[in-house]
Amino acid sequence: MAEFLAVYNPTEEEITTTINGSFFTWKPGQVKQLRGVQGEFVDTNRQELGLVLVSDKRFIPAEQDHYIPGFDKTPEGIKFLEPYREKGINNLVAHLTMIIRNNQVSLRQDLANKYPTGDSAKMAAAYASPGELEAMRKVVKYKKKTTNNAAKQVEEIEKLMAEIGPMTT
């Protein structure tokens, strides 16, 4: 295990979490040096927040032979962090999607049992919690940012084909 590790917040929100009883806060896009045990804890227990372990010594001030101050702000550093950004945002989106799905399924089942003749999907939308709505907004926001160019092109073509209508040969 490394003596010091770097943890990156790829989201656009400030993240505050506890690690082994201590509070830590990351600003959007911040890379923070943590002791090895704390970094490993984040890697195994806080991925759902979007935090990502970065295994490059250029981000760790304690690694004086390799550390480059402000490397995360340089074009090379930004390019290097891109896969970590994708990974962190994908972890966050997956976690929020799971929460939304679990809440929706549970709420729909409860409403279907209470109102057997009603449309449980529409009623579930009416009874969604503020936290669930916020999770949905974050999922939409981050999915737009992580969708790759090929997926965007397929989505655009599908929309255009729907407007064009059926093609006959």
- Domain map of the chain by residue range? 4-81, 82-149
Do residues 98 and 135 make contact, with C-beta atoms less than 8 angstroms apart?
no
pLDDT number for residue 152: 67
Q: Residues in the chain with pLDDT < 50? A: 1
Task: Flag whether the pTM goes above 0.95.
Answer: no
Distance CA 63, CA 43 (A): 20
pLDDT number for residue 1: 47
